């Protein structure tokens, strides 16, 4: 759906001091790419789009070209046209210069969606569900750390109120929230300006770790857009307070990792929750959806854990699942049905790290659910008690290289997300894997430098 130029006109009228607008294109790795446009360019952007090098969707995490994507020199580094995402033009109050922010999607010269754009991959999956009479209702829950530099590394950030740094885990501790209250006050203020549905804030299971839940949306694309905007907002506000907000999956080896929990239900044509049931297990449709999540997880793992660091999160007793398991009101499993009123019944997908691309995490969850529903798959018995007591799932790739291999062999991912998109994503991640593994680390030197 093309954005209406009236949106730009109304924004400029409501924000007369805005001097520039950042246009943001999210690449396969979830990295924000784009440009700063002058205020005077905004209405033209809405009317005509903006040509941008197509290779922007073929970059690795460090912003280096990956020629194997076919988007760089073999394509002559050709331009593609980017168009605004309706409803995403908003102020960016953490920037010193009065600036707006606008999400964009990339299209081919003929107007068709660019195959390598991850937002289009999500749109393809949503379209399949809607065609079958299901409308996804999605909420994204993100964990993150507030950190600060410590020599060559990082450490949990000192509090803003007292300047003290706590080594206590202090899960649910209100004191941790109080210590960072100036920062969180600004985060919530910025969220209101951007109309982002930021809800519950809590301190998580590590010093400096926090979690915010975004509200359920009956529009999966909007829910993912908001997660993209939220991550950028949190990083920007934290920087204004001299802190680094990181969504890295495992920033500290001895502390909890950070996850992206995707909450999903399906609504029917009348808007009613098709998973709603007085039975804590939910409806048979919910069971089939979980069956699909279980069976597709091995080939989909790299979409939820896309980076080398992602796999350090999967450890026993870590609140990160290590098997394709499901349960009711049980945080030791991968797919959890939370307790609550019958009308709220849904599945919480707990696999993805906070470093995952929200578009791809949501798309892959929905693809697994649709696959389970169309195949009427049985999820088996739910886990009761400690899911970590079960053997690790031998079929679940819990290292980067193995996960890339499984995804590269998947016909299901190509069917749902698009063959060209999956090929591009795998090419980028294989190049990253090779580049990452070729670089010695400080740990290499500490362990191996003085070997006899």
Query: Residue 21 sits in a domain of what CATH number?
Result: 3.10.20.70
Domain end (from 61, 81, 113) = 113
Tell me: do 81 and 154 sit in the same domain: no
Distances 82 to 51, 102, 402 between C-alpha atoms, Å: 6, 11, 34
pLDDT, tens digit, 9 for 90 and up, residues 344-402: 999 999 999 999 999 999 999 999 999 999 999 999 999 998 888 877 666 789 899 99
Identify the H or E element spanning 21: strand 20-26
Tell me: do 141 and 101 sit in the same domain: no
Q: What is the pTM of this model?
A: 0.95
pLDDT at 233: 97
103 plus 223 within the same structural domain: no
Residues 6+ apart with CB under 8 A from 309: 248, 249, 250, 355
Q: What pLDDT is attached to residue 199? A: 85
Does some domain include residue 450? Answer: no
| 153 and 46 in a common domain | no
Q: Which of 8-17, 75-84, 110-119, 154-163 shows the lowest mean pLDDT across its residues? A: 154-163
Say if residue 419's pLDDT is above 90. Answer: yes
Same domain assignment for residues 433 and 310: yes
| pLDDT score, position 165 | 74
Share of the chain above pLDDT 70, in %: 98
Which DSSP helix (H) or strand (E) runs through 374? helix 358-374
Percent pLDDT > 90 in the chain is 79
Whose tokens are 């098997």? That residue is 323
pLDDT averaged over every residue in the chain: 93
pLDDT-based confidence at residue 424 (cuts at 50, 70, 90): very high
Residue 82 has pLDDT above 70, yes or no: yes
Last residue of one domain, picked from the residues 64, 80, 113 = 113
Task: State the pLDDT at residue 168.
Answer: 67
pLDDT number for residue 356: 98
**401 and 353 within one domain:** yes
Chain segment 133-185, per-residue pLDDT in tens: 999 999 999 999 999 998 888 998 888 878 777 666 677 778 788 888 999 99
**Residue 207 has what pLDDT?**
85
In a domain, 451, yes or no: no
- Looking at residues 79-93, what average pLDDT do you find? 96
37 DSSP β-pair partners: 21
pLDDT of residue 201: 83
375 domain residue, yes or no? yes
Are both 236 and 103 inside the same structural domain? no
Residues 150, 103 share a domain: no
Residue 452 in domain: no
Whether residue 67 lies inside any domain: the answer is: yes
The reply to whether 134 and 75 lie within a common domain is no
Q: How many domains in the chain?
A: 2
Q: What are phi and psi of 397, to 5 degrees?
A: -75, 115
Does 396 share its domain with 253?
Answer: yes
**What pLDDT score was predicted for residue 179?**
87
Q: What is the CATH number of the domain that holds 286?
A: 3.30.590.10
Q: What is the pLDDT of residues 193-248, one digit of tens each?
A: 999 999 888 877 788 899 988 999 999 999 999 999 999 999 999 999 999 999 99
The more confident residue out of 228 and 320 is 228
pLDDT digits (tens, 9 = 90+) for 431-449: 999 999 999 988 899 899 9
pLDDT value of position 452: 66
Q: In this structure, are 92 and 147 located in the same domain?
A: no
Is position 192 within any domain? yes
**Contact at 8 Å (CB) between 313 and 257?**
yes
- Asked if residue 341 is part of any domain, the answer here is yes
Q: Are residues 178 and 105 in the same domain?
A: no
Residue ending a domain, among 90, 113, 136, is 113
Q: Would 138 be classed as within a structural domain?
A: yes
Is residue 59 classed as helix, strand or coil in its secondary structure?
strand
* pLDDT for the residue 169: 66
d(CA 411, CA 23): 34
Domain coverage including residue 352: 125-422+429-443
pLDDT for position 250? 96
Residue 47 clears pLDDT 70, i.e. is over it: yes
Question: Any idea what the Cα angle at residue 218 is, between residues 216 and 220, rounded to 5°?
Answer: 85
Q: Which of 320, 321, 307, 293 is nearest to 399 (CA)?
A: 307
For residues 210 and 146, the answer to whether their CB atoms sit within 8 Å is yes
- Structure token digits, residue 183: 């920062």
Question: What pLDDT is attached to residue 394?
Answer: 62
């Amino acid at each position: 759906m093309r954005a209406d130029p009236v949106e730009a006109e109304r924004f400029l009228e409501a924000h007369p001091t805005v001097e520039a607008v950042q246009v943001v294109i999210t690449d396969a790795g979830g990295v924000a790419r784009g440009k700063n446009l002058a205020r005077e360019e905004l209405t033209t952007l809405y009317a005509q789009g903006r040509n941008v090098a197509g290779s922007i969707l073929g970059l690795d995490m460090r912003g280096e070209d990956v020629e194997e994507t076919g988007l760089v020199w073999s394509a002559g580094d050709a331009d593609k046209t980017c168009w605004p995402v309706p409803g995403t033009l908003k102020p960016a109050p953490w920037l010193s210069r009065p600036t707006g922010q606008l999400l964009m999607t990339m299209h081919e010269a003929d107007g068709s969606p660019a195959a390598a754009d991850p937002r289009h991959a999500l749109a393809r999956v949503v379209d399949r569900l809607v065609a079958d009479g299901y409308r996804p209702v999605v909420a994204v829950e993100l964990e993150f750390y507030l950190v600060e530099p410590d020599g060559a590394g990082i450490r949990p950030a000192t509090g803003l109120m007292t300047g003290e740094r706590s080594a206590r885990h202090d899960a649910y501790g209100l004191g941790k929230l109080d210590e960072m209250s100036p920062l969180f006050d600004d985060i919530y203020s910025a969220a209101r300006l951007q109309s982002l549905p930021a809800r519950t804030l809590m301190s998580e299971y590590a010093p400096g770790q926090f979690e915010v839940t975004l509200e359920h949306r009956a529009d999966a694309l909007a829910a993912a857009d908001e997660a993209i905007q939220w991550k950028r907002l949190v990083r920007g506000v934290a920087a204004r307070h001299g802190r680094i907000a990181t969504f890295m999956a495992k920033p500290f080896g001895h502390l909890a990792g950070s996850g992206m929990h995707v909450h999903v239900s399906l609504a029917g044509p009348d808007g009613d929750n098709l998973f709603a049931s007085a039975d804590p297990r939910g409806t048979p449709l919910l069971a089939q959806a979980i069956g699909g999540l279980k069976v597709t997880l091995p080939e989909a793992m790299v979409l939820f854990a896309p980076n080398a660091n992602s796999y350090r999160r999967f450890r026993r007793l870590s609140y990160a699942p290590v098997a394709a398991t499901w349960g009711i009101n049980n945080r030791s499993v991968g797919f959890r049905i939370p307790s609550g009123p019958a009308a709220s019944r849904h599945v919480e997908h707990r696999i993805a790290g906070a470093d995952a691309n929200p578009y791809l995490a949501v798309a892959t969850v929905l693809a697994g659910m649709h696959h389970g529903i169309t195949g009427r798959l049985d999820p088996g018995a739910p886990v009761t008690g400690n899911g970590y007591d079960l053997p690790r799932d031998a079929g679940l790739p819990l290292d980067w290289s193995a996960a890339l291999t499984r995804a590269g062999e998947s016909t299901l991912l190509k069917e749902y997300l698009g063959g060209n998109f999956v090929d591009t994503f795998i090419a980028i991640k294989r190049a990253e894997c090779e580049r990452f593994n070729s670089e010695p680390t400080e740990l290499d030197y500490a362990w191996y430098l003085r070997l006899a």
